[in-house]
Amino acid sequence: NAGVTQTPKFQVLKTGQSMTLQCAQDMNHEYMSWYRQDPGMGLRLIHYSVGAGITDQGEVPNGYNVSRSTTEDFPLRLLSAAPSQTSVYFCASSSKGWANEKLFFGSGTQLSVL
């Protein structure tokens, strides 16, 4: 099993550009989520989904969109990148049995916005 696959690993954007971070899991997990990790801040929840067709906002959703058309995929879209979105992004999934507690994370995306 590949687990949670996240791409790209690194990305540099200019202010105002848009892009999509891809996330796919092959564990048939209902719950998927996106976090960002900044120094001294801990991981903060951006958006999450409890199943295909269902998404909801987390703690820091502004500037990001998500969709969940399939169980496997949960892409994160940056609409108009800003320097404040420079961060490390992690996608995570978990099974219904664990709710969202035992998270399986992707390997992360280092994003720099210039």
Helix (H) or strand (E) segment spanning residue 2: none
Binding mask 75-94 for another protein (x = CB under 8 A): ---------------x----
User: Which stretch in 16-24, 42-50, 61-69, 74-82 sits in contact with another protein by CB under 8 A?
Assistant: 42-50
User: Which stretch in 15-23, 38-46, 69-77, 79-87 sits in contact with another protein by CB under 8 A?
Assistant: 38-46
Q: How far is the CB of 25 from another protein (least distance, A)?
A: 13
Q: Which of 30, 25, 26, 76 is nearest to 53 (CA)?
A: 30
Query: Do 93 and 25 touch, CB atoms closer than 8 A?
Result: yes
Q: How far is the CB of 72 from another protein (least distance, A)?
A: 18
Classify the phi-psi angles of 12: left when phi > 0, otherwise alpha if psi is within -120 to 50, otherwise beta: beta
Omega cis (within 30) before 75: no
Q: How far is the CB of 56 from another protein (least distance, A)?
A: 9
Q: Which of 42, 49, 48, 36 is nearest to 88 (CA)?
A: 36
Q: Which of 12, 41, 79, 114 binds another protein (CB under 8 A)?
A: 41
- Indicate whether 101 belongs to the interface with another protein (CB under 8 A): yes
Interface with another protein (CB under 8 A), residue total: 22
